[in-house]
Structure 1
Amino acid sequence: MRERKKARTRDALIRSALELIAHKGYEGTTVDEIAAAADVSQRTFFRYFANKEEVALAVQNMVEAQFLAALRARPAGEPPLTALRNAALASWDGVGEAVTALVPIDLHVRVYRMIESTPQLLAAHLRRLAELEEGLAEEIGRREGLDVRTDPRPRILVAAFSGVMRVTGKVWGENLDGDMASLRRITSEYLDQIGPALAEEWSKYGGVDQKA
C-alpha cells in the first residue's frame, strides 16, 4: 500500500507539473506551484524529483526507459536494425497505455512541443537522448559480440536510427490531431525509409506522406 501511495503521489506531481507548464510555460511555473497543485509540500516534491526540469521530462524519460527495455527483450537472432525497429514498435504499445494512464494525450503532445521550443528543456532532453543512444549502442554491441570502444558500427547504426526517430517525433508533434496510434504508424513508415534514404538513386523509391 505504501508503494502504491508513493506511485500516486509521483503521478500527481507529474500531471500537475505538465498541466501548469502547458498553461504557464516552463519558466513561468515554479516548484511551489507544482507541489500546491498536487496537494503536497515542497519537501515532498523533492523526495520524488531533483528539480523542475526532471519532473517536466518525466514522461519522456519513461518512454526512453521502456524502449531500452524492449530492445533488451528482443530475440537474439534478430539483426541489429530489425531489433531496433521491432523494439520501437513493440514499446509503443505499452508506452501508449502508460502515457494515457498518466496524462491526456493532448497534454503530452503540447508538452512535447514545449520541450522542443524551450532551450533549457531541449538541452536536458538531448543530454538524456545521448545517454540513451550510448545504452542502445552498448546493447547492440552485446547482442552482436562487439566492443563499442573498438568497433564503431553499433554507435553508427544507433545514430542513424535515433536521427530517424527524432524526425518522426517532430512530424508527430506538429500534427494537431496526433495520437499514439499515429505515432506508431509514422515511426514504422519512417524506419522503413532508412534503406531507401541511403540508396544512391532516390528516384527509384517512393516518398512518405509527412501528414500520415
Structure 2
Amino acid sequence: MSAPTDQGGLRARKKQRTRSALIDAGLDLFLSQGYDETTIDEIATAVEISPRTFFRYFDGKEDVALAKGTEFDELVCRELAARPADEPPLVALRQAVLDAVRESASREGVPRFLRIQHLISNTPALLAGNLRRAALNEELLTTEIARRQGVDPVRDLRPRVLVGIVYAALRIGLQTTCADGSRELARLLELVEQTIDLATAGVPARWGADPRTW
C-alpha cells in the first residue's frame, strides 16, 4: 500500500532537484555571461534536459533569475509567522528579515548572494519583475502584521507602512553591501541591521490604539 506514496514522493523529489539544478545553472550562466546573452536552450542544455522540459518548470528565464528572491520572500514570511505572538511588530519583522538574510546568504555564500542581488538590480529586464514580486510579498507581510496586531490593514495603514519601511531599508542595506569591499556574513548583517534601525528609528515597539499615529 505504501508503494504509490513512495513513488509520488520520489517523483516530487526528482522534480525539485531538477528545478533547483535549473536555477543554479541559470544563475551560473547569468553571472558569467550576462542575463540578456543567456538563452533558455543554454540553461536546459546545462541540466541535460530539452527546452520543452524546461517549460514544465518555468515560464521563462526571468522566473529562473528571480527564483532565489521568491525563496527569500517565502522564508521571511515563514520566519515572521514563527515569531512569538506577543512580540511587537517591529521587533518581529526586523528579526524575521535578519534571520532570512542570514540563512539565505549562508546557504548561497555571501559573494554569490550579493552577485545575484547586483545582477537583478542592474538588469532592467529583471528589475520590473523583481519589484512586482517584492510588492506581492509585502502584501503578504502586511496581512500577517495586521493579523498579529488584530487590526484591519485597509483601515489601519501602520502594518503596510512598517513593511514598506523595513523592505526599503533592506534594499538599501543590500545595495550598500554590494558596494562594500567585505564579503563577510557579519558585515552583511551589520549593514542590513543598521539600515533597518535607521529607517525605523521613530517607530515604537508597541503601537497605540489610534491608527493615525504610532
Structure 2, gaps ≥5 residues long: 1-9, 204-214
Distance (Å, rounded) in 1 between the aligned partners of 2:44 and 2:33: 15
Contact 1:113 1:173 in 2 (8 A): yes
Q: TM-score, normalised by structure 1?
A: 0.84
**Other structure's SS at 1:7 match:** helix
Matched residue, 2:117: 112
Distance (Å, rounded) in 1 between the aligned partners of 2:129 and 2:24: 20
Distance (Å, rounded) in 2 between the aligned partners of 1:82 and 1:162: 14
Aligned counterpart in structure 2 of residue 95 of structure 1, from 90, 93, 104: 104
1:46 matched to 2:55? The reply is yes
Provide, for residues 62-96 of structure 1, a one-character-per-residue CA deviation record: whole Å limited to 9, x for no partner: 11110111111111111111111111122234323
Contact 1:16 1:37 in 2 (8 A): yes
1:67 matched to 2:76? The reply is yes
Matches within 5 A, 1:188-199: 188-196=193-201
Structure 1, gaps ≥5 residues long: 199-212
1:123 matched to 2:132? The reply is no
Shift in Å at residue 194 of structure 1?
A: 3.0
Cα separation, partners in 2 of 1:60 and 1:176, compared to 1, 3 Å:
farther
1:187 matched to 2:196? The reply is no
Q: How many residues align?
A: 194
* Identity rate, percent: 41
Cα separation, partners in 2 of 1:117 and 1:195, compared to 1, 3 Å:
closer
1:3 matched to 2:50? The reply is no
1:183 counterpart letter in structure 2: L
Matched residue, 1:201: none
Matched residue, 1:79: 88
Provide, for residues 42-62 of structure 1, a one-character-per-residue CA deviation record: whole Å limited to 9, x for no partner: 122111111110001111111
Contact 2:173 2:195 in 1 (8 A): yes
Distance (Å, rounded) in 2 between the aligned partners of 1:131 and 1:62: 13
- The farther-off stretch of 181-190 and 77-86 is 181-190
- The farther-off stretch of 143-152 and 86-95 is 86-95
Aligned counterpart in structure 2 of residue 15 of structure 1, from 24, 29, 52: 24
Matched residue, 1:206: none
Distance (Å, rounded) in 1 between the aligned partners of 2:96 and 2:144: 12
Shift in Å at residue 196 of structure 1?
A: 4.1
Contact 2:166 2:200 in 1 (8 A): no
Aligned counterpart in structure 2 of residue 27 of structure 1, from 29, 36, 43: 36
C-alpha RMSD over aligned residues: 1.8
1:110 counterpart letter in structure 2: R
Shift in Å at residue 197 of structure 1?
A: 6.9
Distance (Å, rounded) in 2 between the aligned partners of 1:197 and 1:2: 51
Matched residue, 2:149: 144
